[in-house]
Amino acid sequence: MKRVCVFCGSSAGARPEYLQAAKALGETLVNREIGLVYGGASVGTMGMIASTVLSGGGEVVGVIPEGLVKKEVAYKELQDLRVVQTMHERKALMNDLSDGFISMPGGLGTFEEFFEVLAWGQLSIHKKPVGLLNIARFYGKLLEFLDHAVTEDFVQAVHRDMLLVHQNPEPLLDLFDAYEPPLFDKAGWIKSQHGR
């Protein structure tokens, strides 16, 4: 992998573990010579991971919509800060620039970005790994809900299994290295649902 996109917050969160995890992930990316693609802000966990990668001599690409440059305090010191017009352009460019996606603890924007790339993987729009860095079990209830969606037959187990989860950056990136996208006939599954 040349670059990994990390979805994370413009907030530092309530626990010191979140900033510590952003720093640890940034250091891991530098050690593995993997570039960072992220939301372009200089604050919160976004700012921490970007500054960590920068200080380690790694590549950082920030992507931020023009309307959020002031609101999210854009990291203007980045050598590669790409200002786009819309959130849709932001996500499309982040996808194009990245070989995988990691969601750290974050807010509504993080959740939305995470679910979109996971759904794109399900639809084979991309074949890149998608993971959660599950710091302090932040995503525990979400993982339970996804299991519930499988039980209720709205999500296929093969698609639930696409999601890679670990609480530490090194093992999560090891899972990324070993990732193989599933082979799944969605059209056949839909026909079987209607044949019930």
Q: Mapped to the 3 state alphabet, what secondary structure does 130-154 carry?
A: EEEECHHHCCHHHHHHHHHHHHCCC
| pLDDT, tens digit, 9 for 90 and up, residues 60-115 | 999 999 988 877 688 988 999 999 999 999 999 999 999 999 999 999 999 999 99
**pTM exceeds 0.95:** no
Summary mean pLDDT of the chain: 92
- What domains can you pick out in the chain, each with its CATH number? 3-194 (3.40.50.450)
Rounded-to-integer distance, Cα 140 and Cα 142, Å: 5
